[in-house]
Every structure is written in C-alpha cells, then in structure tokens.
Structure 1
C-alpha cells in the first residue's frame, strides 16, 4: 500500500435526509460520523466540501443533489445520502435519486449489501441505489449513523477510482499497469476478502440486530481481568505483542477477534500529555456570588465595586469627639447623641460635645477622633437612667484620626481584589471578600458535568435487596466514583447500568453525551469478546481512542477517547470519554490519576491533578517487577513533623478493602527488590492528611 499522500484530493458532499433533523439540526449525528469515516478510512483522498440536511421529500432531495452535481465548474466528485432507504411510508430517497442517475452502479450496491448480509439477513430490508449523474457519483446509505458508516466503509477504498473515471479520466491510462497495481493503490486485495473492500465491515441495512454470545468480563472484582493482581504470580506470555490499529470488530465473532490489545502500551506521563492535548478548553460563564461559587476558578481579574468601609467608622467602643487644636481632651463633656452600627442619620457634632459610639458605627458629621471607653469616667445619667448624660475624658495630646477606620482603608473602589485563575475556596475568605467589596457576580470557568455509567450484564445495583445469584456483582464503582467526583466539586449525572449489547451501549452513550460534558464508564475495556466499549467508541460513535493501555498497576486497560458531537447551537465539538477498568481499585485510582486532571483543565484549575508531596515509608513495600504501581496508602503527620505512609493492605485491583482509609496514592517504581522502611517516595494526595501526634 503506498504510503505517500495521493496527489488528487476528491470533493465529497454529505446529504442528511431526515424530516426531524431538518427541523432540529442538533438531533443529527450522521454528518459527524461520516466525516470521521472519510478522515480515518479515506487515506487522505477526500475533502468533505459540502453538507446539508433536507426533509424526506422527493423534490427537496432532488433539488439539493442537482445543485451539487450540475454545477459545471464546482461539481463535487461524490454525493453520499443517509436516510430514507427503508420500507417506511416516509422513506423516499431511492425514488428521489434513481431518476436523476445517468448511469447505474449495481456493483457498489451489491458490495454494500453483501457486506451487510454477512452479518444479518435483515440487510435485505435496505434499498440502496448508486450511480453517476454528469460527473458525480451518488450513493445512498442507511439512516442510522452506524449503518451509514459501515456501508460507506464497505466501498470507500474503491470510490476514488470510480470518481476519477466518472470525472473523465482515461480508462486506458488508469488500467495501464494492470488490476494488481490498482488494488495495491486502493489498499485492497483479491481473494478471500475481495468482497470486503472497506475492511472490518459489519454493516446492516439500517437494522439493529446483533448476535451476542454469553461472556464474562472484568468488573467489580470479578471476571477475567488481565492486570496481574492476585493470580499467584506474574502473567506468562509466549508471544510478542503485534501491531493492530483498531479495536475488535464485535460482528466477526470470537474466532476472529484480537488475541492481544491493538493499542500501544503508554507510560503514565505520555497518557497524561495526551489528555492535556485533547481535553477541551474551559468555557467562561457568569455566576452570582454565593456559596454555589465554591470550587469555581475565576476567568478574569475582579476589582472592588465600592470602598470598604464606605464611611468613616469607629474601631472601638467609646466616644466620638472634635479634637481641639491643642489636643487636650481632659474634662467633663455632655453626651449629645449615640451612634450605633446601624443605618440612620447622625447628628452633627461640635467642639465641646461628644457622642457615644460603638465599634463599627459611622462617625457623626464633624467628629475627628474617637476616645476609647477605657479612657473615660461616667459622671451622670439621664433622668430615666437609660443613657449617659455627662462623661469625663482623661485623655490629652489627642490627635485627629485616632481609633477611626477611614473610607476605603480596607479596600479602595476599583482595587484588584482577586486575580484570574484564583479558585474560590470553601473556607469562605474569597466569598466574604467579594461580598464586602460589593461584587454581585463574576466570570468563572464553567465546571463540566460528568456522565457516569457502568457496563456489564453481571452488574446489579449496589442496594438491590436479596442475595446475589451466581455470577452477579454489586456495582461499587458508580457510588464510589460519584462520591469522589462530588467531593472534587463536580456535578454527576448517573446513567445507570448498561447491558453488554452494542446497540444498548451506543444508545446510552449518545444519550449521555447530549447531557454531560465528560463521560466516565467502567468495565468492558479488556480483551473479552463482549468488552464492547472500545469498538463502540471507534466504530459506532466515530470517536478517536487516544490511548487504550497504560503501563501501570492497577488500571492497565484504561482508555481515553474523544467523540465528535454537535452542541445545542449545531456546532461540532469533542466530548471527552474515559473508559475505566471495572475492578473497583482500578476505577478509583485511574479516576484520580487521569480523569481529575482533565476535569481540572476543563474548569480552569491549575495545576491540574492531585497534589504531590514527599513521604517516608513506614515499612517495607514490595514492588511490581514490570509496571509502576500506584499503591493505596494512608499518609499521616508524625510527631517530628514528617509525612509517613503506610499501606492499606493487599493491592489486588479487585480488592475493595484496599480503598478503606486510603488518602493517597504512592508513586512506586517497578523493580525486583522492595523499597525499604525509611525510604522517600512521592505521594498523590486524595484526601486530608491524618495526624499521629
């Protein structure tokens, strides 16, 4: 197969035939899915130059196709339609397209149907047509994004040759080097797989029927996890890993699925770098100042809206006075008014008069200083004995401004009080500062909403009454991860438990992506025949898996992907998806190690991820021979002020007990000899440090 990029880039157009999508484009996902197929499987030969949505009406479909195919100078090479090819009353695409064709292309129709029929007899319920109008090749695809992408994959590698011929290229020149050369250039071969030009095809003519055998996979401490924990020794391999660019194709059955992961083993550092690269930038929103702001990160500098204090105020209980020029305040003075720390008009004060004043109260007009109550003696009271009448002041050398808090002495109007990037803590200091300075609302980075689901037919709700049946496992991951995410300040939407059936999983993931910004799944990421998350992400959702294995213990099969979707405004965006292992310890460790940095980046928190601190080992720690380990541990402060780390016990990835009390992950290297008591390692803090004092 040639490795260089082809010189000719062909122009394609995608036409969505859907009355629903024509009314609300945000409901369409087929456009994004087909673009992904052109990009991932098109070998750099395609530019999707046009796209559109029309109702399932014959005249509407024909009008758009004619516009694209009949423009002499700017006609596209290929038009693919999706939708309207079934037997429903409203399905009119074949009837709209067929009269427009100048040449039929039954071979392409046969290739799509043959590939689909290899999977399910329901493929015969599809009515595709294909052919040429003027110099443009036109193909109709099923309406479901899955069926459309798979039918396009079945013929995509052959389409450049067809389009070049339709555009007027010389057949003699194209075939001059023989069919073998054409097959090599197209990336296809004759023989057993000649009918599957797209490779890895399991299309169906718009139907949703899948053969799903029984299985068991890792989740909640059960199944066939291959992380190497608690199996009486290291795993034994007799062959070397091979390269394979994509996940299992579930439709091919157990005999043809991968015997090893096709994803390269990445270091934790490389995995974190990929997460950093592909996590979307934070979005700025305006929020009111209140307790809901706790945990948010400011997206802009904040300045005070007013002076604090806004008036001259006393900082002591005492008497407001007008200081004479000589500063001598000794003598007996009449108390002419009282000033409390409450709003209201104050009587002006003259020299020789004093006003009783409380801490924080505004100074009466004319007052220049405050004498502390400790520097006075009560002389007389009013007749009702409720107020003071005369007070003797014992102070001399009094200066103006004593015991007074001047306007703006705490905060000046317009002063910078918080900076962009500051995080609002739960302690209350930042909220109090904003409130005091008269700031009613601020711009912050929106915190992403998390969508959480578990996968597996063996999983049951953690609170389901009654004993477990053979093979059933209680779902510990959703409550555990919900707790961890909520403690970190993020909203979680629980999408429940999803069956190990590709159609169910795809539907639930699409639903979750419409409501959440970041998706977390657990289970289904290992090598079992029905570990379907990776195939569903790549093959059904058109997503990109950036890594599918990490050199770490626990959590080796952790998967990070992005999936293209349309937001509410119809714009294409990428949603982040983390597929974590099913074993409880693996899920929690990888949440803190990988998911949390992505959440932090999306919400403006810097630095992203858990806080790292050096700790001293309180006992010997065995090491894994081949992989770095993130050991669940308890970090505490000792009497001499150092941080000490003790293991929570057995570290098997399915061992729920290893989570109890853990407030840190120790970053342990791989090695054959244990780390000894007293050695120093780094710890990632998941919770508050304990005290041994």
Structure 2
C-alpha cells in the first residue's frame, strides 16, 4: 500500500509573520517519522506544510485545497483551538466536514485529560471531507505531539476507509482484536494503551490553547499510566531515594533536539540603530528608504568635465566639495574642481584625476586656479563617476530577516547609510545564574575557608561567558541545599527567561534540584543525563512562568554539573545554542571545524569533549592542542581553551585505536569552537 499523505497546517498569526517562531511543524513531523520507523506501523508521507494567520477564510482555503484538489489522506491543523478571541480553527474546519468523528475527539480529550485538567479548555474537531480525514490539535508543540499521539495508530484505519482503498469487509476480517494487533494497540491494566512518544515514554505538561508559537504552559495533572522518570520525593526519607538515576542517559544529539524543541523564539521589539544593536537578530526584511549615493558623485579628487571636450586648457568655473550646496551648470569648454564624494555639477559627464592635469594660470591673488590643462586622452562617459543608487537602490531589501547585527559595524553602517534609525529585532533572553551548595563561598569573600568549603568559581565564569556573548546576565547568588531555598531562588527574578544552575544534579541526598523542579515548581524535566564526558548529569527542564510580560512562555532551566570544567563545556554545547535560538539566530549552534590533533588525545568509554586550544599552523591547517588534564573539576584546563575536540567513544574508533586508548597526533578530528582561533604564535 502506498504511503498515506499528510498535510500539516499551522494556524498562528505570530508564526505566519515570523517563520522562525514555528516549531509545531517539526514536532508533528516527528510523530509521523517515529511511527514510520516502527514495524507494522502505517507509512506516512508529510507532503504539505504551511502556516496561516488566525483567519477563518485562510484556514478554509488551505483545507479545501488539500482535501478537494490534492486529496491528501490526512490533514492536521495545529493552533487556534482554545478560548482566545482569535481562536477560530474549529469554526473554520467544522463547516467543511461532511462526516464528523466524535470518537477521535473523545480519544484526544480523554488522553489529554490524563495529563492535565486544562485539556478541557481545548475545542478539537475531527471528521472527513471527501476522501480526507481532518483533525485539529492544540498549538503548542508538546500538546500537539501528545494529542496526535493518542490517535496516530488508529487514524490510518480511518484514512484507508475514507479514501476507499479497501472494502470495509476486508478491513475488519479477524475482528477488532486483529485490528488492534495490526495497529500496535495493547491493553494495559484494563485500559487501552497507544504508544505515541518518540522517546519511548509519555511526556507531560502540555498546553491546549496556544497558537503554534513553540511554547506551553506546563500545567500538570494526574496520569493513569505514569512512565515518565520521576525524581526523589522531597519529603521521603534518605532510605527511600533512588540508588540509580531514573533518567535515561541520552546521546548528545538527542539532547540538542529536545532543547531546540522546547526553546521558543522570543517576542519582537523596536531598537534604535546604534552600538546597542550589536548581537540582535532582525525580525523583518529591511528596505532602503533612500538611495546611496543620492546623487552622481566623484570617486576621485580632480576635475569634472564634459568628456567630449577632450584634452586641452579649460577655465575652472566652479568648485564642488563633499558638502551641501548648489553647484552651477557646467557648459562645454568649462571644468569644475571636485573632491572625492562630491556631487557632479549638472552637465558634467566624467571626472579627470588631478594627477592627469596641470595648472596653466592662476587668479590675481595666486590663491585659485584660473585655467587647468587636461592631459588625459580617451575619456569615456561616466569615468570616475559613482551613479546615484549604484551602492544601494531605494526600495531594495538591504538586510533580510534573520540577519544578526555583528560587532564589525558593517550592518549598522549599512542601516545608517540609508537613514534607517530603528529596526524590529527579536528580544534577547535574560539569563539568571545560580550556584547551589552549602559548601560554596563567594570568590571575593576575604575570609579564610573553613574545612569543607570551596570558592564558587562557576558563577563568575558563567556570568562573564554570558555577557561576552551579548546576553544580559543576572547574578542569583548561592542557594543552600534546601528545597525551599532552591524554589525561591529559582523564581526570585521574574524577568529571567532562562536560568542556569550548577551543582545538585547528581545522586547525593542533597542533590535536590530535579525534585524541586518537578514537585515545587510543577516543571517538566526533559532529560536528566547525557552520554558524554564531562557533563553526564546535565539536566534540561522547563517550568511555568509567573511573569505576565513573558506571556505563556515557559522558563528554561539548564541544571549543569557542579564541577567547573563540566559547567563551562556544557554551557557552550547546550545553553549557548538555546540562547541564540531564542534571540532569533537561524544558525544557532556553534561552528564545528575539522582540526589536526596537535598531540595524542586519550579516548574514553563515553564520547568526550576534550578542552583544546585551536590555532592556525604554518601549513594553513587548524590544529587542536590539549589544554592538559581533563578532570571535570580542573578549571585550569579551560583557562586557555577556545573549544573542544569531539572525541568518539572507545567502542566507535576501531579495534586498533581502542587497544591503544587514544587518537594519535596528526589525525583529524572535529572541534566545536567557542573562542577566536589562535594565530601562528598562539599559546600552545
């Protein structure tokens, strides 16, 4: 049977204006790709994707085109199913349905109510138009994925029936038990269970009334079949805590995908064109309101001439400087002195460089030229002339949406040259940094350390790294190892979009961060361990914001390990790309380059991110030199590092390399750069 064709329609005024905001399309596509990858699963082909604003006519036009003309088997809309004034998706879709499907609606709502009571605030519709099954799901990526996941195994049966691909008699041979087996539906504890999560376990905390803008409220609710890993109970005795982490150790690539999926692009704001614009990303195309230059100008110092006059001696009748003012008309047999950038006199057709002339006579006071001889031959029209609009034409797009304003000055200079005084850009996230641990002492505390105390180096390290990348950093101080302290400190500054913590994410009895996020803040932990060295306990979570200015965007939490080198490496690998995506960067991951190993690089059973100093060699190739011992507590190994070499696990390097335990000097590896490349006289 050929693949069933799918159209995904995102209904969001915000996403229709700023395409980078949309993460719902990829979220729903992942559901179909996951099903496609499992045995006995229906085969899907996502054939159409588009975004429209919250407008009934535009929604209907797309649905009718896909159902009536393209005859897609399944049409899924996401967004506009809530109670907001602009939520009109059900009103747009319901009149188009020739058959309604209340069973699908019931299944979506029932499954969602097991996750959050706020599911009752959603208004889904489902049914058939011609040969197409049409389903509406919530707008948040998480809510959309979960809602579609509840029915995705049964929908192929509906699509096949609606399209008339097989007779009803043939489809139902063997009864409902055979149907359930065919579509991978099992019965657990008296309830039917449909596996729907790409990661192999259910997610929670989704939103049923946003508009496909890549965010969710994170409201929690009861679940009948809890398969999500849970942290220790904050109120339980030490003897009842986990002996092993309940969180699966996921690959680095999967961690990146989860972070990207839950990182929203922030709102748009107006900013003046000045040095404060550096690091912002344009939210719209910029069109030049003026031409550059606005007039015909000279590109050299010399004399404006009429090119057909040719060589000879001519009177100097005017002077044109690069300054405001009228310049008289030039007539045949006359020339005008002109400076670089100055406007050509009316009638002039070319400019002769001063080096190709000589003074013949001067005025009576010897201060001005009276006559000048032109030596140049073969003068052509427009020689040494810069035409009006030759650099920038008025009305043309000079910078596209998604362009980052760099510190080089080029973008700001271009905007200034055409008279653009302010632009619309994506807001940058505000980042709070919190260290955790009873043992920590401020680095600038003058007193001597007591036994068991250590200086907090993580906070000043991360605060400086954040500010160096152009983001606002907020110092949240040090939190004691008590859940109530953690909870209040994590929510202290309502303006923070992202919070970075260090420490408290391992398996100790005082590692309270994960349970505090889940139980006190009603948050969601998206992953709690990563298969990497250093940084295995790295945790990524979200929890609902209480700041009305941030709307219904969740706050992001990156709980990094307490060891200093681990904290810095995981900041650059995980946190910084998320900050850049929030700020509107299209390419938000740090650059990866191929480098030559400057010395032997030891390998580990886990993939390792080895701190290195990358510099240019005499042969023009980049070389990466280890910064020394790589113990995760050794912050000195990061002092000269401008990146990490990405070393594979021992099991991935082949028998010979695995036996010796290192990648030899001179071999090529991949490096992630977070600083400037060193020159030939670099530190290493």
- Offset at residue 569 of structure 1 (A): 5.0
Q: Choose the corresponding residue for 1:601, options 576, 581, 588.
A: 581
Q: Is the 8 Å Cα contact of residues 567 and 573 (structure 1) preserved in structure 2? A: no
User: Which has the greater radius of gyration?
Assistant: 1
Q: Is the 8 Å Cα contact of residues 499 and 558 (structure 2) preserved in structure 1? A: yes
- State the SS of the aligned residue for 2:545: strand
Matching of residue 533 in structure 1 with residue 509 in structure 2: no
Distance 1:40-1:527 versus aligned 2 partners, 3 A rule: farther
Mapped partners of 1:645, 1:570: distance in 2: 42
Consecutive unaligned residues of structure 2, counting only runs of 5 or more, are 1-108, 123-188, 192-226, 651-657
Mapped partners of 2:119, 2:112: distance in 1: 13
- Offset at residue 281 of structure 1 (A): 2.6
Distance 1:570-1:347 versus aligned 2 partners, 3 A rule: closer
Distance 1:296-1:642 versus aligned 2 partners, 3 A rule: same
* Matched residue, 1:245: 229
Consecutive unaligned residues of structure 1, counting only runs of 5 or more, are 1-37, 52-183, 187-242
- Give the TM-score, by structure 1 length: 0.64
Matching of residue 677 in structure 1 with residue 665 in structure 2: yes
- State the SS of the aligned residue for 2:548: coil
Q: Choose the corresponding residue for 2:618, options 614, 628, 639.
A: 639
* Matched residue, 1:339: 320
Q: Choose the corresponding residue for 1:259, options 235, 243, 255.
A: 243
Q: Choose the corresponding residue for 1:657, options 628, 636, 653.
A: 636
Q: Deviations over 1:514-543 (max 9, x none)?
A: 111111111111112121111111000000
* Matched residue, 2:543: 563
- Offset at residue 42 of structure 1 (A): 7.3
- State the SS of the aligned residue for 1:431: helix
- Offset at residue 350 of structure 1 (A): 2.2
Q: Deviations over 1:318-363 (max 9, x none)?
A: 112234xxx2333322222211111122222222222111111111
Size of the aligned set, in residue pairs, is 463
- Give the TM-score, by structure 2 length: 0.64
- Offset at residue 396 of structure 1 (A): 4.4
> Equivalent residues in 2 for 1:185-584 (5 A)?
245-323=229-307, 327-512=308-493, 514-568=494-548, 571-584=551-564
Q: Deviations over 1:546-601 (max 9, x none)?
A: 00111111111111001112442584221111011111001001101111121121
* Matched residue, 1:56: none
> Equivalent residues in 2 for 1:99-178 (5 A)?
none
Mapped partners of 1:307, 1:350: distance in 2: 27
Q: Is the 8 Å Cα contact of residues 112 and 119 (structure 2) preserved in structure 1? A: no
Q: Which has the higher contact order (CA 8 A, sep 6+)?
A: 1
Distance 1:582-1:278 versus aligned 2 partners, 3 A rule: same
Distance 1:510-1:41 versus aligned 2 partners, 3 A rule: farther
Mapped partners of 2:550, 2:390: distance in 1: 51
Distance 1:275-1:48 versus aligned 2 partners, 3 A rule: closer
- Offset at residue 294 of structure 1 (A): 1.6
Q: Deviations over 1:161-212 (max 9, x none)?
A: xxxxxxxxxxxxxxxxxxxxxxx889xxxxxxxxxxxxxxxxxxxxxxxxxx
Distance 1:591-1:39 versus aligned 2 partners, 3 A rule: farther
Distance 1:244-1:335 versus aligned 2 partners, 3 A rule: closer
The RMSD of aligned alpha carbons is: 2.4
Q: Choose the corresponding residue for 1:688, options 648, 662, 676.
A: 676
Q: Is the 8 Å Cα contact of residues 229 and 247 (structure 2) preserved in structure 1? A: yes
Mapped partners of 1:634, 1:50: distance in 2: 54
Matching of residue 589 in structure 1 with residue 569 in structure 2: yes
Mapped partners of 2:523, 2:480: distance in 1: 20
Q: Is the 8 Å Cα contact of residues 250 and 529 (structure 1) preserved in structure 2? A: no
Distance 1:502-1:641 versus aligned 2 partners, 3 A rule: same
